[in-house]
């Protein structure tokens, strides 16, 4: 069984393609969105998703989130006495999704299509692959998130030609893609974006406003996290065009501030401005005028913000499409792709093409004046947003007569100086003895496929000598052996029993609120916690469920009475 997975910065989802449509699989909490959060419980067990989110507040040193931002780097996350790579934390999230899917489907899940931001480079893509392998899955394909979005929407479309723009604002990333759909072919014409712009940045603004208005300075980490949760609630309420109050309980006072939608709008104006540039870039790269777009598709939870929806409508002069839940679009698209892979009959006629999201080239020297060279200049061979699979050839000559070797440094990136780009590899070709520089021609061919494998072949025309380099991963990435070791070590981790997750999450939530409140309220919550723990020990599922619902009711009344 192949599943589709959206491995998000904030939330992750898993889905399948069945009987002609996509189904998203709910987790043990009955929710399609599993927070991409991993924590270690006080007993040293691993908690994943909603069971861990509340501990971001109470136990920040034992909880990790937003690790997708660090994929493909050597950064590690320390949770208590253990260290985790971002690949391993992602693997734990994937494992949890897969387990939910296996229970729901009643069969083994062994393969997956996983979505990645269009802007992810090779290293980040390979890290995502490694995460899936650590979780014990074979990756059938990585799919760009906006491509997945187009697939999810493409299915709803009739057969006429269509040009879309996908506008995806998630928790931490912003992606824009221009996509063409015709005769069942989905083609990404261009993508652009900002890896550091998302819903979280809007929260930062709300927090800053709170500090200004309440004149409260630095907060302890627990209070900081509490403020962040309150701001998240406020952010959602601001969509309803009402004045919103939010704050935190410190000692015996509730410190809050009010903000009106118009004030909020003016404060987030700089963030909204930053959403414009990538749109312009993508349209320019795709050579498409705003007026020629048939549709604009909203993706990502943050596009539920009315300010963003208004901005998009103004920018494009039309109302965007959003009839699929924006935070579910990518997962549904990945599920469609998984269906394609399983050769579902209904989908036989959809072909997927893609683009290379960054420029690939080699290091070269440029002659500024006779004998005066600028070195280390990027010579692009496959340009950003070229349709893949792609194969391109460029011809180079050595600088000096009788130069014996030509070294070929392969880079990825947009900067003119290779030192500002990412080095993917290097190799040398031998040149014939006694050669004349101008007459010595070396053909360099780049072939790049949809799995991110780059083949570089250099041929010396005068001699026919050929050298080949295949780049699948670069340094800083996990080797096969490291992946296997990580797989083994994760197997040794004690993952908390699945059927207990709802109880754990409820206990964590109660404990968090206990820490936040004081006096009578605290006492009441304390009693409820004691009682719940007692009932849990009794192990009667019916009684546990009953009490959990009651507890939930009490906590909701406490938390949401404002």
Q: Please list the active-site residues.
A: 6, 68, 145, 168
Residues near Mg ion, by CB under 5 A: 8, 170
Binding partner of residue 352 among Mg ion, ligand ADP, none, CB cut-off 5 to 8 Å per kind: none
CB of 558 to ligand ADP, least distance (A): 22
Whole-angstrom Cα distance, residue 322 to residue 535?
Answer: 44
Q: Which residue is nearest to ligand ADP (CB)?
A: 199
Q: Which is nearer to ligand ADP, 10 or 412 (CB)?
A: 10
First-residue to last-residue Cα distance in the chain = 46
Which residues 6+ apart lie within 8 Å of 4 measured at CB? 14, 15, 16, 17, 22, 112, 113, 114, 115, 148, 331, 332, 333, 334, 335, 336, 337, 338
Q: Which is nearer to Mg ion, 8 or 361 (CB)?
A: 8
Q: Which is nearer to ligand ADP, 31 or 239 (CB)?
A: 239
Whole-angstrom Cα distance, residue 247 to residue 230?
Answer: 6
Whole-angstrom Cα distance, residue 308 to residue 283?
Answer: 19
Q: Which is nearer to ligand ADP, 199 or 413 (CB)?
A: 199
Binding partner of residue 59 among Mg ion, ligand ADP, none, CB cut-off 5 to 8 Å per kind: none
> Pattern of binders to ligand ADP over 7-46, x per CB under 6 A?
-xxxx-----------------------------------
Whole-angstrom Cα distance, residue 199 to residue 9?
Answer: 11
- Find tokens 């924006």 and name the residue: 326
Judged by CB under 6 A, does residue 305 bind ligand ADP?
yes
Q: Which of 149, 96, 116, 198 is nearest to 328 (CA)?
A: 149
Q: Which is nearer to ligand ADP, 167 or 532 (CB)?
A: 167
Q: Which is nearer to ligand ADP, 69 or 496 (CB)?
A: 69
Judged by CB under 6 A, does residue 170 bind ligand ADP?
yes
For ligand ADP, the binding residues in 436-475 under the rule CB under 6 A are: none
Size of the site for ligand ADP (CB under 6 A): 20
Judged by CB under 6 A, does residue 304 bind ligand ADP?
yes
CB of 98 to ligand ADP, least distance (A): 18
Q: Which residues of 13-40 are buried (b: 16+ CB within 10 A; e: fewer)?
A: bbbbbeeeebbbbebbeeebbbbbbbbb
Q: Which of 277, 329, 327 is nearest to 303 (CA)?
A: 327
Q: Which of 54, 327, 354, 501 binds ligand ADP (CB under 6 A)?
A: 327
For ligand ADP, the binding residues in 241-300 under the rule CB under 6 A are: 300
Q: Which is nearer to ligand ADP, 7 or 134 (CB)?
A: 7
Binding partner of residue 193 among Mg ion, ligand ADP, none, CB cut-off 5 to 8 Å per kind: none
488: number of Cβ within 10 Å = 10
Contacts 24+ apart (CB under 8 A), 252-258: 252/518, 252/519, 255/214, 255/216, 256/214, 257/209, 257/210, 257/213, 257/214, 258/213
Pairing mode, strands 295-299 and 162-169: parallel
Judged by CB under 6 A, does residue 235 bind ligand ADP?
yes
Q: Which is nearer to ligand ADP, 265 or 443 (CB)?
A: 265
Binding partner of residue 320 among Mg ion, ligand ADP, none, CB cut-off 5 to 8 Å per kind: none
According to DSSP H, which parts of 406-540 are helical?
Answer: 480-492, 501-516, 519-538
Judged by CB under 6 A, does residue 117 bind ligand ADP?
no
Q: Which is nearer to Mg ion, 12 or 516 (CB)?
A: 12
Q: Which of 154, 301, 361, 452 binds ligand ADP (CB under 6 A)?
A: 301
Instruction: Pick the stretch among 23-31, 228-236, 280-288, 398-406 that binds ligand ADP (CB under 6 A).
Output: 228-236
State the maximum Cα–Cα separation within the chain, in Å, rounded to a whole number.
Answer: 92
Instruction: Pick the stretch among 6-14, 310-318, 443-451, 525-533 that binds ligand ADP (CB under 6 A).
Output: 6-14
Q: Which of 45, 46, 37 is nearest to 68 (CA)?
A: 37
CB of 173 to ligand ADP, least distance (A): 6
Query: At residue 104, what are phi and psi to the nearest 5 degrees?
Result: -65, -45
CB of 8 to ligand ADP, least distance (A): 2
Judged by CB under 6 A, does residue 328 bind ligand ADP?
no
Exposed, middle or buried by CB within 10 Å (0-12, 13-18, 19+), for 483? buried
Classified as helix, coil or strand, 103 is helix
Judged by CB under 6 A, does residue 302 bind ligand ADP?
yes
Binding partner of residue 175 among ligand ADP, Mg ion, none, CB cut-off 5 to 8 Å per kind: none
Rg of the Cα trace of the chain?
26
Judged by CB under 6 A, does residue 320 bind ligand ADP?
no
CB of 317 to ligand ADP, least distance (A): 24
Report residue 167 as tokens. 């506008």
Binding partner of residue 133 among ligand ADP, Mg ion, none, CB cut-off 5 to 8 Å per kind: none
Whole-angstrom Cα distance, residue 180 to residue 353?
Answer: 10
Q: Which of 255, 272, 275 is nearest to 264 (CA)?
A: 272
Classified as helix, coil or strand, 465 is coil
Binding partner of residue 239 among ligand ADP, Mg ion, none, CB cut-off 5 to 8 Å per kind: ligand ADP
Q: Are 35 and 327 in contact (CB under 8 A)?
A: no
Judged by CB under 6 A, does residue 171 bind ligand ADP?
yes
Q: Which of 172, 247, 339, 398 binds ligand ADP (CB under 6 A)?
A: 172
CB of 104 to ligand ADP, least distance (A): 20
Q: Which of 500, 441, 495, 446 is nearest to 470 (CA)?
A: 446
Whole-angstrom Cα distance, residue 34 to residue 100?
Answer: 10
Q: Which residue is nearest to Mg ion (CB)?
A: 170
For ligand ADP, the binding residues in 183-202 under the rule CB under 6 A are: 198-200
Q: Which is nearer to ligand ADP, 10 or 59 (CB)?
A: 10
Which segments within 183-279 are labelled E, that is strand?
185-194, 244-250, 253-259
Binding partner of residue 512 among Mg ion, ligand ADP, none, CB cut-off 5 to 8 Å per kind: none
Q: Which residues bind ligand ADP (CB under 6 A)?
A: 8-11, 170-172, 198-200, 232, 235-236, 239, 300-302, 304-305, 327
């Amino acid at each position: 069984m192949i599943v589709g997975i959206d491995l998000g910065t904030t939330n992750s989802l898993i889905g399948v393609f069945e009987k002609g449509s996509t189904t998203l699989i709910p987790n043990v909490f009955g929710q399609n969105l599993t927070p991409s959060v991993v924590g270690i419980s006080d007993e040293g067990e691993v908690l994943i998703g909603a069971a861990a989110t509340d501990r971001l507040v109470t136990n920040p040193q034992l909880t990790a989130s937003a690790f997708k931002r660090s994929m493909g780097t050597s950064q590690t996350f320390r949770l208590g006495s253990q260290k985790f790579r971002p690949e391993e934390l992602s693997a734990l999230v994937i494992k949890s999704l897969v387990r939910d899917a296996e229970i729901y489907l009643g069969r083994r899940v062994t393969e997956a299509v996983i979505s990645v931001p269009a802007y992810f480079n090779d290293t980040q893509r390979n890290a995502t692959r490694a995460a899936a392998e650590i979780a014990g899955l074979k990756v059938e394909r990585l799919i760009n998130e906006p491509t997945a979005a187009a697939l999810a929407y493409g299915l709803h479309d009739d057969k006429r030609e269509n040009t879309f723009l996908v506008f995806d604002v998630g928790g931490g990333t912003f992606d824009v893609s221009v996509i063409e759909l015709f005769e069942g072919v989905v083609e990404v014409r261009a993508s652009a974006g900002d890896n550091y712009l998302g819903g979280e940045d809007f929260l930062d603004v709300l927090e800053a406003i709170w500090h200004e208005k309440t004149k409260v300075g630095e907060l302890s980490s627990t209070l900081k996290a509490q403020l962040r949760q309150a701001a998240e609630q406020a952010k959602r309420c601001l969509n309803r065009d009402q004045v919103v109050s939010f704050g935190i309980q410190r000692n015996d006072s509730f410190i809050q501030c009010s903000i009106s939608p118009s004030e909020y709008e003016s404060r987030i104006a700089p963030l909204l401005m930053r959403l414009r540039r990538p749109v312009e870039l993508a349209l320019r790269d795709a050579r498409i005028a705003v007026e020629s777009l048939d549709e604009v598709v909203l993706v990502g939870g943050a596009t539920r913000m009315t300010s963003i929806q208004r901005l998009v409508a103004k920018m494009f002069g039309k109302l965007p499409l959003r009839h699929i839940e924006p935070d579910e679009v990518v997962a549904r698209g990945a599920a469609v792709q998984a269906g394609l892979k399983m050769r579902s009959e209904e989908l036989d006629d959809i072909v997927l093409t893609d683009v290379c999201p960054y420029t690939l080239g080699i290091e070269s020297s440029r002659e500024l004046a006779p004998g005066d060279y600028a070195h280390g200049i990027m010579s692009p061979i496959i340009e950003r947003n070229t349709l893949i699979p792609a194969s391109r050839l460029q011809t180079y000559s050595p600088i000096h007569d009788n130069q014996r070797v030509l070294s070929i440094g392969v880079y990825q990136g947009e900067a003119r100086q290779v030192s500002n780009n990412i080095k993917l590899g290097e190799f040398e070709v031998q040149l014939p003895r006694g050669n004349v520089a101008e007459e010595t021609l070396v053909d360099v061919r780049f072939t790049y496929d949809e799995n991110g494998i780059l083949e570089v072949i250099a041929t010396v025309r005068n001699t026919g000598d050929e050298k080949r380099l295949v780049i699948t991963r670069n340094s800083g990435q996990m080797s096969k052996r490291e992946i296997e070791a990580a797989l083994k070590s994760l197997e040794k981790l004690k993952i908390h029993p699945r059927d207990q997750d709802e109880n754990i999450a409820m206990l964590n939530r109660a404990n968090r609120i206990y820490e936040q409140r004081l006096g009578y309220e605290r006492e009441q919550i304390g009693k409820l916690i004691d009682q719940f723990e007692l009932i849990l020990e009794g192990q009667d599922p019916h009684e546990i469920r009953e009490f959990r619902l009651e507890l939930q009711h009490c906590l909701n009344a406490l938390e949401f009475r404002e």
